[in-house]
Amino acid sequence: MIKKYKYLDNINFPSDIKKLPSSVLQELADEVRQEMINAVSETGGHLGAGLGVVELTVALHYIFDTPNDKLVWDVGHQTYPHKILTGRKSKIKTLRQGKGLSGFTKRSESEYDPFGAAHSSTSISSAFGMAVANELSKKSNNVIAVIGDGAISAGMAYEAMNNAGASKTKMIVILNDNDMSIAKPVGAMRSYLAKLLSGKIYFSLRETIKLIVSAFSKRFSVKAGKAEDFLRSAVTGGTLFNSLGFYYIGPIDGHDMDVLLPILKNARDSKHDGPIMIHIKTQKGKGYSYAEKANDKYHGVSKFNIETGEQQKSKSNLPAYSKVFANTLIKHAERDSKIVGITAAMPDGTGLDIFGKEFPKRVFDVGIAEQHAVTFAAGLATEGYKPYAAIYSTFLQRAYDQIVHDVAIQSLPVRFAIDRAGLVGADGPTHAGSFDITYLSTLPNFVVMAASNEAELVRMINTSIDINDRPTAFRYPRGTGVGLELPNIDEKIDIGKGKLILEGKKLAILSFGTRLKECLIAAENLKKKGINITVVDARFAKPLDEKLIWQIATDHEAVITIEEGSIGGFGSHVSNFLFENNLLDRELKFRSMILPDKFIDQDNPELMYKLAGLDAKSIEEKVLDLLNSNIVLQKQK
């Protein structure tokens, strides 16, 4: 076998790193960085964040005894170097592929992943739980949490620090400050960290004092500690982290092994009672020039040419749903000064960066803080503004209490633009939009819509503009539309009205969302077999088009609902309507096609929907099975 790397070829687990002298660890880090670039160039994925923590990752596994010592990452997209060094090097080019490695930490994938992390701001809470468990079990294992500067803007991180700081439980938190999470970090914390970075004299003087003190008798150690406390207070004025009960160290250079190694070792061996905060400064995209120069530091990339940095572009000329949303909202905002956009650290992903270029004072990036985003939108709505909270379905889950109490109960007209609805491909189950239909359509006062294509999305945005007495949600998937001509911004939908697409006999399909395309493919295949079915674009999960559903139920022998969501959503509401109105007493056959009761791992979206049983072939089989079935869903007694 041809030797590719001088050191990395012999590294399979962290125990192998410990066999190396510390003097060669930077060379190992350089090799890890190159291997990561090689892998992501072939798979696509998250690049910039991982490049920034290569030295830190090597140093952590060198100093600490993982997996006995627990290393918790926040968020998971900076863990590709960690995966390379923890037994997954040979599989690194399967990242985010079907049956391959997850793009995030995953407990079932490796014992070196003690906690799954794909969303942000969970590391301190989970690590503190592990540290307390160690205390209760009288174990001496170290617990280390690595949290990014963007993730520490979320409220959960402060709740955790407040709790951990008040305890005497030892844990180590490493704040990875790269001046950037996915987009530029926002808010007061960004300015605060910048001020801390300007106080580099603090660290150098502190080390100088230690050097001086070490040359004298140990009897001066107590006074030295007091001098250090004085210096800490005099130069930085104390820190927020000190106030929360953390012993704060930093900021330090996160790419300098000569600095990282002794500080991590000292933290490991410290007898300090309570949590320690190590603030490191890193560069996102470090070591790859094209990433360093890019505005987003190559946060998320498609496959790319390593030599030129050029990413493979989509060959599709079809419009992306996120851009359709943004461009439609811009047209409305030109007419209506009350329209504003809100994003939780995802301006690029949601299209609000496009809106922001036209209306910079009317778009608000609140950081990784979905709870705040929703209640902030509610506050705007009380004053007559029309807030559009553009949030991925999976992230909106984090703000459910706020949706219920601050929006729904008060019937405030917040508009939720729910991106990434349904299965999302390479990001896997943690990013799938599986539950929003269910968790929103159960709430009184809500209007819940799903676009079957990009033209319907435009109509739903148009419709939402004038809904001023209650909250509205419209969902749409990741990716591109089907190539339809977009309607003008005056074309709207009657609230709660579905649309008859095909008219047939015996069986009707009520489709909610973008499975409509697969329904029509199935209908065409069935037509060739002499079976003509009815297909309806339901459009609304709430309010239901009760008149249309009643007509469909009385004119057909069987009804199937289909949606890109879990149980409890559109199909459940249709079923309840049929039961309550005794429509199932006439021996109507009814089935719901929904996402299965399991989390589906990352893969090509088409394959994921096939596995979920929501592709055209599965729909066709369901129709044939139901038409040939004598089983009827009877009304519960």
| CA nearest neighbour of 161 among 249, 275, 321 | 275
Catalytic residue among 370, 454, 456, 518: 370
**Alpha carbon of residue 49 to chain centroid:** 15
Which residues does 560 contact at the CB level (< 8 Å), separation at least 6? 507, 508, 509, 510, 590, 591, 592, 593, 619, 622, 623, 626
Q: At what angle do helices 200-214 and 221-236 cross, to 10 degrees?
A: 170
206 is known as an active-site residue: no
Contact 496, 543 (CB under 8 A): yes
Contact 472, 447 (CB under 8 A): yes
Residue 530's region, left for phi above 0, alpha for psi from -120 to 50, else beta, is left
Contact 542, 573 (CB under 8 A): yes
Question: Residue 593 — φ and ψ, nearest 5°?
Answer: -105, 115
Catalytic residue among 70, 170, 286, 398: 398
Cα Rg for the chain, rounded, in angstroms?
28
| CA nearest neighbour of 612 among 375, 478, 422, 464 | 422
**Alpha carbon of residue 71 to chain centroid:** 20
Locate 273 and state its tokens.
């009672």
Contact 402, 375 (CB under 8 A): yes
Query: CA 364, 368, 369: angle at the middle one, nearest 5?
Result: 80
96 is known as an active-site residue: no
In 3-state terms, what secondary structure has residue 546?
helix
Locate 18 and state its tokens.
């410990």
Catalytic residue among 284, 415, 515, 622: 284
370 is known as an active-site residue: yes
One DSSP character per residue, 560-594 reads EEEESS-TTSHHHHHHHHHHHTTGGGG--EEEEE-
Active site residues: 284, 370, 398
